[in-house]
Chain A
Amino acid sequence: VMFNGLCLKGFWLYSVCAMRDTILNSHLAAAHGLSDEQKEFQKMAFDFAAHEMSPHMAEWDEKEIFPVETMRKAAQLGFGGIYVQPEVGGSGLSRLDTSVIFEALSTGCVSTTAYISIHNMCNWMIDTFGNTEQREKFCPELCTMDKFASYCLTEPGSGSDAASLLTTAKLEGHHYILNGSKAFISGGGDTDVYIVMCRTGGKGPKGISCVVVEKDTPGLSFGKKEKKVGWNSQPTRAVILEDCHVPVTNRLGQEGQGFNIAMRGLNGGRINIASCSLGAAHACVQLARDHLLVRKQFGEALSNNQFLQFKLAEMATKLVASRLLLREAAVALQESRSDAVSLCSMAKLFVTDECFNICNQALQMHGGYGYLKDYAVQQFVRDIRVHQILEGTNEVMRMIIARSLLSESG
């Protein structure tokens, strides 16, 4: 069944609104096991996603629009610093609350939600490792999204091998002089606050520190905007540092603590990214289900076809399994359990892989229509593909899990 352009937008909006409610309703219920408060957060996030994000998802992707106004609206609701402390403007919620919120927001637009999660991660890093002056200087404006943040760890020569980074920070008087370049920085060029991991000491992780570089600092420049398969509502650029003078007072924590700060940020970041994959997968299961009920071939609805029934059942099963693992990892992290790092890695690995497969299957079930940009399913597939790569590749996740299993205490 084909729709003309005008009908299509309405159809998409309708189907997302109906989707939101059936998502909260169905046997895949994302609301199971949540407290009343968490259900309120979830409902509100779903509403925001359905009304403020979903109608624009395709346009933001096609025109590569960084939706600043919409994100600031989200920040007004408390989404700018979800797990940042209230005394600096944050919402002070738990990792599980955060996961539930990002999962819901992703149904409206994965790419934008993923950027919001990166922004939140940076905000938290300053909140947690910064001193009073730094927290008071940066966090309030990040919480309102008056300013936006970027996380700068990866370099052209160091991705998975993050600790081998080469960007140097030489101490001269009251400043560090930064030299080097960062690659694939989400928001790069359009954001205001850059959390940069750089080398102040010797080789390896212990020589790395974390500094906050502000936009318009002389010596800070950006590469061209990358052309990506997905995540198009956030600009991605190289961040270039040439004799960039950063005040020592902008260093978070101690010299040599930078790698640890970066990794602690990523634990939560992994929960968040996996949550985005989860939301996308749930939306796609819904879209696939609706399509199967409507599309007829060989004289009957596709939903009468046993293979497709079984496939849908498998997708739903993997979705629920993913959600349970992810929420368990979120709880482990917020309780600082000893297995938290390992669980976060497991959750990121499992959830991003399974959810990509679910979205991909959903696209297949749409047949030729699934390949058209008129249908949302392809954007979910394109947007979450990168979740298996960034914030630590799924291969690196295996390294972390294996190390934990094989260590003395494992």
Chain B
Amino acid sequence: MSPASVFVCLSLTLLSDYPVIRVKPDHSGVVTDGVKHSMNPFCEIAVEEAVKLKEKKFIKEVVAVSCGPTQVTETIRTALAMGCDRGIHVEVSGKDYEAMGPLQIAKIFAALAKKEEASLVILGKQAIDDDCNQTGQMTAALLDWPQGTFASEVTIDGEKVKVVREIDGGLETIKISMPAVLTADLRLNTPRYATLPNIMKAKKKKIANMKPADLGVDMVSRVEVLRVDEPPTRLAGVKVETVDDLVAKLKANGTI
């Protein structure tokens, strides 16, 4: 029995190539106004994997989901243009959006996955702006589903999923039952370009709108960001003439 639907959960992040990210003057966060946002690269990989699974006929439907302000619908449209069948936009804006962290997002995704009876939830392994690497794992825990994180290869085998994971020691292969949560790592695939015809077809695909309250999710954050600072400016080094001088200097400043 092939799984009915796969949810791909997308994150909208600050653009990776953007040259200058500034800390806000009040150190409460980073300036995001006017900074170009786009789909998180690991989420692109997640979309690509889901679409590939559908093309191989392992799954029937791919749903692209994202939480955030109106802007995220652009991301969902890109996912639709890559081949997802429909989208869901969970509207979170203003103060709620600023305070939104992995736990709140995981609660939303878990509630949606349950409501829509998803068989697989695929996310990017982490967002490149905060590098939390938590949402996938939290979603799996809330659902009490198995998780295959840092996936560099995914194969569906009947009711189970074989996942090759990139871990510190090398590659680990696990087999987990569905429904399951997967997070995509860099080498899982190379995301396709949306084709012109698919971009046009995406216009006709539906994006449903809802709010966290509709899913019974409480958005209150238990984490308070106290302060955000830039990394310390790199100090100039000191040149020495000999190895003995080097050792002496390192001893003097307490390094060795």
Contacts and interface: CB of A to CB of B under 8 A. Distances in A.
A96 B77 CA distance: 21
Given A40-B78, A40-B199, A47 B15 contact: no
Contacts of A48: 193
Contacts of B77: 36, 40
A21 B200 contact: no
A77 B195 contact: yes
A25 B36 contact: yes
Nearest to A293: B19
Interface in A228-266: none
Contact of B195 (A22, A37, A76): A76
A37 B203 contact: yes
A44 B202 CA distance: 14
B15 A37 contact: no
B195 A40 contact: no
Contacts of A91: 196-197, 200
A286 B19 CA distance: 13
A402 interface: no
Interface string A98-132: 00000000000000000000000000000000000
A18 interface: yes
B74 A36 contact: yes
A21 B15 contact: yes
A47 B200 contact: no
B199 A44 contact: yes
Given A36-B77, A44-B199, A77 B193 contact: yes
Please report whether the interface of chain A is mostly helix, strand, loop or mixed according to DSSP.
helix
Interface in B36-55: 36
Given A40-B81, A77-B193, A21 B199 contact: no
B196 A18 contact: no
A362 B29 CA distance: 37
A44 B192 CA distance: 10
B194 interface: yes
Contacts of A86: 197
B131 interface: no
Interface residues of B, number: 18
Contacts of B195: 76-78
Interface in B167-205: 193-197, 199-200, 202-203
Nearest to B80: A40
A91 B197 CA distance: 6
Interface string A30-48: 0000001101110110011
Contact of B19 (A18, A47, A93): A18
Interface string B199-241: 1101100000000000000000000000000000000000000
Contacts of B244: none
B17 A37 contact: no
Given A18-B17, A21-B15, A47-B193, A41 B36 contact: no
A184 interface: no
A176 interface: no
A48 B15 CA distance: 17
B197 A21 contact: no
Contact of A21 (B18, B202, B203): B18
Interface string A73-100: 0001111001000100001110000000
Contact of A40 (B17, B19, B36, B194): B194
Contact of B196 (A25, A43, A93): A93
A43 B202 CA distance: 15
A21 to B, nearest CB: 5
Contacts of B202: 40
A40 B80 CA distance: 11
From A17, A40, A78, A79, residue with most partner B Cβ within 10 Å: A40
Contacts of B19: 18, 22
A17 to B, nearest CB: 5
A78 B200 CA distance: 11
B17 A77 contact: no
24 contacts: A18-B18, A20-B17, A21-B17, A21-B18, A25-B36, A36-B74, A36-B77, A37-B199, A37-B200, A39-B74, A40-B78, A40-B81, A41-B196, A44-B193, A44-B199, A47-B193, A48-B193, A77-B193, A77-B196, A78-B195, A78-B197, A91-B196, A91-B197, A91-B200
Interface of A: 17-18, 20-22, 24-25, 36-37, 39-41, 43-44, 47-48, 76-79, 82, 86, 91-93
Given A44-B196, A86-B197, 14 more contacts: A18-B17, A20-B17, A21-B36, A25-B18, A25-B36, A41-B199, A76-B195, A77-B195, A77-B196, A78-B195, A82-B196, A91-B197, A91-B200, A93-B196
